[in-house]
């Protein structure tokens, strides 16, 4: 029973990291209707910025995270302006390829700037010299990083939902997502709205990067790519474009991955995860919480 | 506009494909003219490179490939630096002179073959092979076809040598390449030696193994460790795996070892994954003995790594930087002065490679105007001759036979206060 709980906790903590990355993916997809494959690499940049602020300049972790968010937001805006905006009228496949190119560009730039040697990300979330709470004489452990990640996920989900539902800018975003042409006719500046979406998505990426590396501390230029792909899977699983769906998809994906490893086989866990994804999409093509949008003729 | 862009993309894709193909003819031609007894004459630059080395006729050109950039750069650079020191010492003696060339392969088989072709074009006569296993498998096949003598410092996979039966199926998948030799332990020998060492020193009774099942190095070590452990009556209570894609969360693997009461965890892997396992085991308060292999070397130099986590980790490695042996001390001192680092065993292995080649060339009476195929035959003769023994930093009285692997005995090391200390 305890073993089961331990696996469940590991699953939730891995899932919460996927979820926080998936929130960024789903946010950008939901509004700009494009898959930003460079998202995972913006995460990596955020983690590096925070790492250097904290270990080289000795700043407080909170300041490190805030600076990482600032840098990533700027980076997100620059990427959007240079690589995606000129392709706004191009077919979506062109933008997708550009995003993949941007992903490789960021990885290789990071390798030149910071070399490919591993860096160990410092442990931020320790309280009273402990890195977690344990129950039953240490047989059940819950780390602070997991708790912080889940809380951050919930807070971000609530804030994003409120933002898109209540604020004027949020409403403009939803309008763009439904129909760009009609939104423009209504006097909404579509280009600015999409740029703002990228800025928000990139700021979220910085937070995700710090939390990802706090949980799994090897930092290298390819750190973001695999979690990025898994988080993309989680976003599709939960229904891409849906903010609560990203959270649900992320957590479920983490739990399935850990249970597959623990109870079936460590050798085929990834195969099982993706098999589950295929089955879900066959039964419910829009994902768990995705909405079916009917087009009226 | 759309059409123009689509066309541009199509052209770009086509160019990418062509760029991918471009390396193929170069890699394929030597293999098709598979006549090991005649030197490859197609290449005009293939003549000995004495011409471009200030006219002296006793300079041998030695080449090697290794990951000088990328995730495994720590090994490639260490190996290159070790060889540089040996070459400098030998050149200072007068007599036989060496010119060393290193090319980057970024731990990638295809890049390694390109690097090898560059070395050939630059007049290489003797090849130090590749530093890591996956590129080593590729370059050894090329060097076998082209007849370049190949002594690798650290590409330890059996597929580099060829002719070794797969322990699971019992069949020989790659035929023996007679000009390929290793300075490091071959993977199975290292797995065997680890099990033997654990048994002899009573380090653990219940053993857990975590290995990377998409990596030739890690699975090779695991298979031989398991065979030997079974033969010795060591009990393996937990066996779990991971892959490159799932190399983040190890909670299941660690919990499995913990729940099965393992008191020793064997980690046949490189230090990147090992450092995560040590961190995560510490987080849940699990402190068995950890036993690593030569890929663990380097863990202490990871930026930001809390070395107290590696306290008490044991590994088998042929070289001990704390050794009191004067030759080793002098090497460590020179290395530190030049590169500001403590050399690891990759540096020591490659240092030994250069000296072994030097001794063999001297014994064979080779001269630098010989072409690479002649040198290859001479060196094979020396290395497989029963009177050729070599003593270096990584072992005393090493010998080789026609199988290509070295016989020497490993040293047990343990990490104490953030440094490697010999266990014996």
Which carries the bigger pLDDT value, residue B283 or residue A189?
A189
Is the model's pLDDT at A27 over the cut of 90? Answer: no
Interface touch A119/B302, C-beta < 8 Å: yes
Instruction: Please say whether the dihedral angle defined by the alpha carbons of residues A232, A238, A242 and A243, taken in this order, is positive or negative.
Output: negative
Q: Can you give the pLDDT of all 424 residues of chain B as single tens digits? A: 455 555 555 555 554 444 444 333 333 333 333 334 434 334 434 444 444 444 456 899 999 999 987 767 778 989 999 999 999 999 999 889 999 999 999 888 999 999 999 999 999 999 999 998 889 999 999 999 999 999 999 888 888 988 887 766 778 888 899 999 999 887 778 888 889 888 888 888 899 999 998 877 888 889 889 989 999 988 999 999 998 778 888 988 998 898 899 999 999 988 888 888 998 888 878 889 999 887 787 787 777 788 888 888 888 877 877 777 888 889 999 998 998 877 888 899 999 999 999 999 999 988 888 999 999 999 999 999 888 999 888 888 888 988 888 888 777 888 888 777 777 6
Of residues B239, B235, B243, B244, the one with CA closest to residue B223: B239
* Residues of chain B found within 8 Å of residue A120, distances taken between Cβ atoms: 275, 279, 302-306
Fold of the CATH domain A2-283? ABC transporter involved in vitamin B12 uptake, BtuC (1.10.3470)
Q: Which residues of B touch A89 (CB under 8 A)?
A: 1-2
Contacting residues of B for A97, CB less than 8 Å apart: 9
Write out chain B residues lying below 8 Å of A43, CB-based.
none
Tell me the C-alpha distance between A48 and A55, whole Å: 10
Two tokens at B66? 């290794």
Ramachandran category for residue A233: left, alpha or beta (phi over 0 → left; psi -120 to 50 → alpha): alpha
Compute the nearest-CA separation of A45 from chain B (Å).
17
Interface of B with A in 137-176 (CB under 8 A): none
Domain layout of chain A by residue ranges: 2-283
Taking an 8 Å cut-off on Cβ atoms, the answer to whether A218 and B275 are in contact is yes
Q: What are the boundaries of each domain within chain B?
A: 56-185+321-409, 188-317
The minimal CB distance from B304 to the residues A121, A141, A270 is found for A121
Q: Which residues contact A290 (CB under 8 A, 6 or more apart)?
A: A238, A239, A240, A241, A242, A245, A284
Which residues of chain A make contact with B249, given a CB cutoff of 8 A?
Answer: 10, 14, 216, 257-258
Min Cα distance A290 → chain B (Å) is: 27
Q: Which residue has the higher pLDDT, B128 or A1?
A: B128
pLDDT for the residue A131 = 67
The pLDDT value recorded for residue B285 is 81
**Are B56-185+321-409 and B188-317 in the same CATH fold?**
yes
Are residues B303 and A132, on separate chains, in Cβ contact within 8 Å?
no
Mutation site for B-interface testing, chosen from A51, A91, A118 by largest number of B Cβ within 10 Å:
A118
Does the beta-carbon distance from B253 to A266 stay under 8 Å?
yes
Cα–Cα nearest to A204, from A38, A72, A53:
A72
| CB-neighbour burial class of residue A96 (10 A; exposed 0-12, middle 13-18, buried 19+) | middle
Residues of B in contact with A94 (CB under 8 A): 5-6, 9
Give how far A39 is from chain B: nearest CA, Å: 18
Chain A residues whose CB is inside 8 A of the B275 CB are 118, 120, 218
Tens of pLDDT along A32-52?
Answer: 888 888 999 999 999 999 999
Residue in A131, A222, A270 closest to B243 by CB: A270
Which pLDDT does position A51 carry in this prediction?
A: 92
Hey, of B251, B261, B283, B341, which one would you mutate to test binding to chain A, going by the most A CBs within 10 A of its CB? B251
CB of B334 closer than 8 Å to CB of B211: no
Between helices A61-79 and A39-55, what is the axis angle to 10°? 150
Query: Is the CB of A97 less than 8 angstroms away from the CB of B2?
Result: no
E strand segments, B138-277: 149-152, 180-182, 206-212, 235-242, 264-267
> Tell me, what's the pLDDT at B121?
94
**How far away is chain A from the Cα of B342, in angstroms, using its nearest Cα?**
17
**Residue B239 distance to chain A (closest CA, Å):** 9
Residues of B in contact with A141 (CB under 8 A): 283-285
Q: How far apart are CA B40 and CA B36, in angstroms?
A: 9
- Looking at beta carbons, which residues of chain B come within 8 Å of A91? 2, 5-6
A120, A222, A266 ranked by CB distance to B305: nearest: A120
Look at residue A295 in the predicted model and tell me its pLDDT.
56
How is the beta sheet containing B180-182 ordered, strand by strand?
B97-104, B59-66, B126-130, B149-152, B180-182
- CA dist list (Å): B398 to A18, A211, B78, B344: 51, 50, 22, 19
Domain B188-317 adopts which CATH fold?
Rossmann fold (3.40.50)
From the candidates A56, A261, A269, A273, which should be mutated to test the interface with B, based on the most B CB atoms within 10 A?
Answer: A261
- Do the Cβ atoms of A3 and B255 come within 8 Å? yes
Tens of pLDDT along A70-108? 999 999 999 999 988 888 888 888 888 999 999 989 988
What distances in angstroms separate CA B202 from CA A132, A212, B191, one per listed residue? 34, 39, 17
CA distance A266 to chain B (A): 6
Q: How far is CA B1 from CA A83, A86, A100, B4, in A?
A: 17, 12, 22, 5
Residue B313 CA neighbour count, 13 Å, CB half: 30
Which strands sit side by side in the sheet containing B314-317, from one edge to the other?
A: B235-242, B206-212, B264-267, B289-292, B314-317, B411-416, B419-422
Q: Which residues neighbour B361 within 8 Å (Cβ) at sequence distance 6 or greater?
A: B60, B96, B375, B378, B379
Task: Please tell me the distance from the alpha carbon of residue B346 to that of residue B294, in angstroms, as a whole number.
Answer: 9
B 368-397 residues with CB below 8 A of A? none
CA distance B285 to A153: 27
Percent of chain A with pLDDT strictly greater than 90 = 24
Tens of pLDDT along A210-266? 999 988 888 888 888 888 888 888 998 898 888 889 999 999 999 999 999 888 888
- What was the pLDDT predicted at B7? 54
* C-alpha distance from residue B261 to each of A265, B5, B69, B208, B226 (Å): 19, 62, 40, 9, 18
Contact (CB, 8 A) for B351 and B300: no
Whether B104 and B115 have beta carbons less than 8 Å apart is answered as yes
Please report residues of A whose CB lies closer than 8 A to that of B256: 262
Choose from A5, A10, A100, A131 for mutation: most chain B CBs within 10 A. Answer: A10
Phi-psi region of B154 (alpha: psi -120 to 50; beta: other; left: phi over 0): alpha
Identity of the residue in B2, B5, B245 whose CB atom sits nearest the CB atom of A226 = B245
pTM, two decimal places:
0.75
| A and B: number of Cβ contacts within 8 A | 107
The architecture CATH gives domain B56-185+321-409: 3-Layer(aba) Sandwich (3.40)
Q: Which residues of A touch B213 (CB under 8 A)?
A: 267
**pLDDT tens column, A267-287:** 888 888 888 888 888 988 888
Task: Calculate how close chain A gets to B382, using CA atoms only, in Å.
Answer: 39
| CB < 8 Å to A226, chain B | 244-245, 247-248
- Nearest residue in chain B measured CA to CA from A97: B9
Tokens (6 digits) for A271: 């195969």
Please classify residue A287 by burial: count the beta carbons closer than 10 Å to its beta carbon, then call 0-12 exposed, 13-18 middle and 19+ buried.
buried
- Contact check, Cβ <8 Å, B248/A227: yes
Complex ipTM value: 0.77
């Amino acid at each position: 029973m305890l073993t089961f709980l331990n696996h469940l906790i590991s699953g939730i903590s891995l899932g919460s990291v996927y979820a926080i990355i998936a929130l960024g993916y789903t946010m950008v997809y939901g509004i700009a209707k494009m898959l930003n494959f460079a998202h995972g690499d913006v995460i990596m940049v955020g983690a590096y910025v925070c790492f250097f602020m904290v270990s080289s300049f000795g700043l407080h972790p909170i300041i490190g995270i805030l600076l990482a968010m600032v840098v990533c937001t700027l980076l997100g805006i620059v990427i959007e302006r240079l690589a995606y905006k000129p392709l706004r009228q191009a077919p979506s496949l062109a933008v997708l390829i550009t995003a993949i190119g941007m992903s490789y560009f960021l990885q290789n730039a990071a390798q030149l700037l910071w070399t490919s040697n591993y860096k160990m990300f410092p442990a931020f979330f320790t309280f009273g010299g402990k890195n977690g709470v344990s129950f039953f004489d240490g047989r059940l452990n819950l780390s602070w990083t997991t708790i912080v990640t889940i809380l951050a996920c919930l807070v971000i989900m609530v804030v994003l939902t409120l933002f898109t539902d209540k604020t004027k800018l949020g409403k403009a975003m939803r309008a763009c997502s439904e129909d760009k042409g009609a939104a423009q006719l209504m006097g909404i500046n579509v280009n600015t709205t999409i740029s703002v979406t990228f800025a928000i998505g990139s700021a979220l990426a910085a937070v995700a990067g710090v939390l990802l590396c706090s949980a799994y501390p090897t930092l290298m230029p390819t750190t973001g790519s695999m979690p990025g792909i898994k988080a993309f899977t989680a976003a599709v699983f939960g229904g891409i474009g849906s903010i609560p769906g990203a959270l649900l998809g992320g957590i479920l994906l983490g739990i399935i991955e850990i249970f597959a490893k623990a109870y079936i086989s460590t050798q085929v866990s990834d195969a099982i995860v993706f098999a589950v994804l295929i089955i879900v999409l066959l039964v419910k093509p829009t994902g768990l919480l995705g909405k079916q949008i009917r087009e009226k003729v | 506009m759309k059409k123009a862009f689509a066309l541009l993309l199509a052209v770009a894709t086509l160019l990418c494909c062509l760029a991918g193909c471009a390396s193929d003819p170069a890699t394929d031609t030597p293999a098709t003219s598979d006549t090991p007894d005649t030197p490859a004459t197609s290449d005009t630059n293939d003549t000995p490179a004495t011409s471009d080395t200030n006219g002296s006729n006793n300079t041998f050109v030695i080449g090697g490939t290794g990951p000088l950039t990328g995730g495994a750069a720590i090994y490639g650079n260490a190996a290159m630096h070790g060889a540089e020191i040996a070459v400098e010492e030998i050149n200072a003696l007068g007599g036989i002179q060496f010119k060393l060339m290193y090319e980057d392969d970024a731990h990638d088989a295809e890049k390694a073959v390109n690097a090898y072709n560059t070395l050939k074009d630059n007049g290489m006569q003797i090849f130090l092979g590749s530093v890591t296993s996956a590129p080593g498998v590729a370059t050894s096949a090329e060097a076998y076809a082209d007849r370049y003598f190949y002594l690798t410092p650290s590409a330890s996979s059996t597929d580099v040598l060829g002719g070794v039966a797969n322990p699971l199926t019992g069949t020989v998948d790659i035929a023996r390449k007679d000009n390929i030799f290793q300075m490091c332990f071959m993977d199975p020998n290292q797995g065997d030696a680890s099990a033997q060492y654990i048994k002899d020193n009573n380090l653990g009774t219940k053993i857990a193994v975590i290995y990377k099942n998409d990596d030739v190095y890690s699975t090779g070590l695991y298979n031989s460790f398991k065979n030997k452990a079974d033969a010795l009556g060591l009990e393996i209570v937990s066996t779990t795996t991971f892959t490159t894609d799932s190399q983040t969360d190890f909670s299941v693997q660690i919990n499995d070892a913990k729940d099965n009461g393992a008191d020793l965890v064997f980690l046949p892997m490189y230090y990147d994954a090992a450092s995560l396992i040590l961190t995560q085991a510490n987080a849940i308060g699990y402190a068995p003995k950890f036993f690593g292999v030569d890929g663990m070397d380097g863990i202490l130099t990871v930026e930001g790594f809390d070395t107290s986590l590696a306290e008490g980790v044991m590994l088998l490695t042929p070289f001990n930087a704390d050794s009191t042996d004067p030759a080793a001390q002098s090497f460590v001192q020179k290395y530190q002065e030049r590169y500001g680092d403590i050399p690891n065993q990759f540096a020591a292995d490659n240092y030994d490679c250069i000296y072994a080649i030097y001794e063999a060339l001297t014994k064979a009476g080779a001269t630098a105007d010989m072409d690479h195929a002649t040198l290859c035959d001479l060196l094979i003769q020396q290395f497989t001759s029963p009177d050729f023994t070599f003593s270096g930093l990584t072992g005393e009285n090493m010998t080789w036979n026609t199988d290509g692997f070295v016989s020497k005995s490993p040293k047990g090391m343990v990490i104490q206060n953030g440094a490697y200390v010999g266990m014996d």
